[in-house]
Amino acid sequence: MGLCQSSLERREAVSRCKARRRYAKHLVQGRRDFAAAHFLYLRSLRATGAALVEFANNAETQPDHHHLLPSASPPPSPPPPPPPLASSSWDFWDLFVPSSSIPAIAEWEKHTTAPGVERPQKSSTSEVAVVAVPRNTKDLSEIVKELNEYFLKAADAGSQVSLILEAPNSDLNSEREETAGKTSGFGKNLNRLHCSWRSNSKICGGEAGSGSISHSSTVEKLYNWEKKLYSEVKNAEMLREQHDKRVTLLRKQEANGVDYVKVEKNMMEIERLKSKMTIASEAIETITSAIIVLIETELFPQLLQLVTGLMGMWKTMHSCHQDQTRIGHQLECLNSALAIHPTSNMHHQASLRLQMEIDRWRSSFFSLIKSQREYTHSLAGWFRLSLFHCHAKNHPTTSDICSLCEELQLAIDRVPDEVASEGIKSFLAVIQAIIAQQEEEQNQEKRAQAGLKELLKRSGELASLESKLEEGHGEAPELLKKRAEVEPLKKKTEEEKSNHEKCVAVTRELTLNNLQAGLPQVFQAMSDFSGECMQAFESAARKRHAECG
């Protein structure tokens, strides 16, 4: 029995139908994967834009208090010691106020204030200079806000394709809610996508495909028909094999003069097999006709709608990424002196979230391209093996859809996605470098805080000893020893303070330089890729229209 089955599997018709069934099964799964990858990619565009906005807002927000200033009030000052220290004017509580802040702001003001805008002069009684912020120059948060608008516009461009593919967002709700809960910016962007999908899903059955039939339902029906076709063809081949054996036996019986009863019985079995073969052949024709009708009335219109939707989506995305490239170049006008405060914990967390979302963007981009190719490969592969292609080779609809699928596969295969993928990867590396520098800055801050804490402790002990000496309860040598311990701590603390200020400056400069280089680069890469995709789908559509008319 096993050998018989193996022989049947090797027959050309059965083998072809088995391959068709396999392609149809892959098409069903490919549609699901394509829909899910498409939804995740749109989500990643929104989430990346929201994370970038949060990053920029935290980068420009001044913390409520300086990290390095002690929160507690200084203890009551003891009576002044008789021998004043050489550096008695040194102020513990003003230890980490950056001395370079005011000159840096003044320098920035000189270069960025527009001609004709008067800079307010510092009052003779005031200790703080007031800086006029020029309104003709955008700051980081304003630039990033514009970038985010185009992220949202690009994501909105994929809504029609989501409708056609019937993106299964129900499996992604928990991830969306978890991400949205971390920050209101994420929630706003992702809720916009969620609401859009929910409103579309109400009419999904009526607009996703042709008439009231969805694309998901169409490919499922196609797969079911292919399973039936495979079963009928396999059965027909088995009947034909049995019929051939009976005919061969009949010839031998007639040649050898076998008993008439046996010959008659064999002839009746041959007639029975012929009858079954006729029924099987009619079943195959019925299934084949049903598949052709399914293609003409449902699949072909749906594919035309999908190609049109993808062409429009990539065209809009191409335009959006072009605008983002232009906006990204505006970062070159920014000056790092605009933000000189240390990295806050909120900013560091925002940087980590941005890193996570860019990584998801890259992953979802890869999944989208992979699933898009696998979907078209399954579709084109199924058409190449279709038996009805032989019976209906002159049928215009069959010819059109075969040509469309072939052109679609070739066009998608020609689109180079490596540059875009590397562009996102490079931008991810840019953010990772910023995070590494932020962590170095925070580590230096901890060292400076520890040094300050130790200095305050030793200085308090020194003040107490000086007080006792003044009252006649201490010894001068012990006082000199304590002073000798405090002096090196002062120098070390000053060094740690200076190192921390340098780290802050390096972080700000690195952040701005990396954004100035990374953002235009990734948007240019995505613009080039989306332009290639747009041309690929336009080419497939043009060839189809040329063949039709």
335 with 138: CB under 8 angstroms?
A: no
Residue-wise pLDDT for 333-389, tens only, equals: 877 544 567 888 899 999 999 999 999 999 999 999 999 999 999 999 998 888 544
275 torsion bin: left (phi>0), alpha (psi -120 to 50), beta (else): alpha
| pTM score, whole prediction | 0.74
CA 129 to chain centroid: 44
pLDDT at residue number 395: 58
Percent helix, percent strand, percent coil in the chain, to nearest 5: 80, 0, 20
pLDDT at residue number 263: 80
Residue 167's nearest CA partner among 309, 38, 45, 303 is 38
* Tokens standing for residue 179: 């991400």
- Taking only the tens of pLDDT, the chain with its 549 residues reads 455 555 656 678 899 999 999 999 999 999 999 999 999 999 999 999 999 999 999 887 655 444 444 433 344 444 444 344 333 333 333 333 343 433 433 443 443 333 333 433 434 333 333 334 444 467 889 999 999 999 999 999 999 999 999 976 544 444 444 444 444 444 455 455 444 444 444 433 344 434 457 999 999 999 999 999 999 999 999 999 999 998 988 888 877 877 888 888 888 998 999 999 999 999 999 999 999 999 989 999 999 999 999 999 999 999 999 999 999 999 888 775 445 678 888 999 999 999 999 999 999 999 999 999 999 999 999 988 885 444 555 555 666 788 888 888 888 888 889 999 999 999 999 999 999 988 888 887 777 777 777 667 667 666 766 666 665 555 566 666 666 666 777 777 777 777 778 888 888 888 889 999 999 999 999 999 999 999 999 988 877 665 555
pLDDT at residue number 206: 40
Residue-wise pLDDT for 78-114, tens only, equals: 444 434 433 333 333 333 334 343 343 344 344 333 3
* Helix 12-59 vs helix 184-201: crossing angle, to nearest 10: 140
397 with 296: CB under 8 angstroms?
A: yes
Interacting residues of 492 by C-beta distance below 8 A, sequence separation 6+: 451
331 with 512: CB under 8 angstroms?
A: yes
Residue 294's nearest CA partner among 384, 402, 398, 166 is 398
Instruction: Please name the residue that has the structure tokens 């063809």.
Output: 233
347 torsion bin: left (phi>0), alpha (psi -120 to 50), beta (else): alpha
Rounded to whole angstroms, the Cα distance separating 103 from 251 reads 111
Rounded to whole angstroms, the Cα distance separating 206 from 392 reads 30
38 with 161: CB under 8 angstroms?
A: yes
- What are the distances in angstroms from CA 115 to CA 323, 474, 521? 29, 66, 32
